[in-house]
Amino acid sequence: MGKTEFITDKEIYEKVILERIPSAKKFVWIATSDIKDLHVKKGRSMVPFLELLSDLIDKNVLIRLIHAKEPGPNFRKDFDRYPNFIGGLERILCPRVHFKSVIIDGTFIYTGSANLTGAGMGAKSSNKRNFESGIISDDKILVNQVMNQFDSIWIGSFCKDCKRKDFCADYEIFK
């Protein structure tokens, strides 16, 4: 049986974004409802979170991203700065996604309330952050449950009977 820990606010940023994601070896799967131009600490600088993902792609780490809506123009501008995302980052839009999870190498998960935004998971000060909570775990059963939820959405298990197809940019893929 693995270790499971309840974390809040800045702990999410420190333990998931700064410690675990950069240490991924095989894959990082991220699910979020909202995604914005999140900036994080890298060395002595603040950089777009996307730079951390780009660094992982350069190390042959597979990145999958599920989110509910198109991100804003600042995110898009940063996204376009990383040409290795073409062919190196897989993403799906699903308007029904509201869960927030990070799965790393099939051995570690975060699941909780924080969206992939500065106020949710970012380096914002305690006076500007959202009040968030979640759990991190390396418990095999819990990791598998979170992975199964992510994977079932990723492969389109719910698309056929979904009543939100009119809002789904990726529905044609799963017909």
Condensed to tens digits (0 to 9), the pLDDT of residues 87-115 reads 999 999 998 999 999 999 999 999 999 99
Residue 120 burial by CB count (10 A; 0-12/13-18/19+): exposed, middle or buried? buried
What is residue 136's three-state secondary structure? strand
132 CA to centre of own chain: 15
Q: Domain residues of the chain, as ranges?
A: 4-174
pTM for the whole structure: 0.92
Tens digits of residue pLDDT in 28-43: 999 999 998 889 999 9
Tell me the fold of 4-174: Endonuclease; Chain A (3.30.870)
- Residue 2 contacts residue 137 (beta carbons within 8 Å): yes
